[in-house]
Amino acid sequence: MQVKILKQDKDSIDIEMDSLTIAEILRVYLNKENVKLAAWRREHPSKNPVLHVEAENPKAVIKKAINALKKDLDKYVKEFKEAK
C-alpha cells in the first residue's frame, strides 16, 4: 500500500492512500480513539482518497489505530482458523 503525506501540521494531517477500503477502516478506528475529526474525501472516483485527521498528535493517534486494527485482525484470523 502506498501512503503519501500531503499536508501536516501540529494538530492535523492529510494522507493520500491508494485504498479506499483502508481509508474507511482507519476512519472508523480513529473515531474510536476520540479524535477531533477523522474523515476521508475523494475528488473523483478515479482519484485516490485522502484521509484527514485532526487530533493533538495525529501521527501517534494513527499509529494507535493501526495497532488496534492489527490486534483485531489477528483475533479474527485466530477465530477463523479455530472454526475449521
Number of domains in the chain: 1
Res 84 pLDDT > 80 = no
Q: What is the pLDDT of residue 25?
A: 96
Q: C-alpha distances in angstroms, 27 versus 58, 76, 78, 83?
A: 12, 19, 24, 29
* CATH number, residue 60: 3.30.1360.10
Q: What value does the mean pLDDT of the chain take?
A: 94
Res 6 pLDDT > 90 = yes
**Mean pLDDT, to the nearest integer, of 23-31?**
96
pLDDT digit string, tens, across residues 35-64: 999 999 999 999 999 999 999 999 999 999
The whole domain housing 9 covers: 3-83
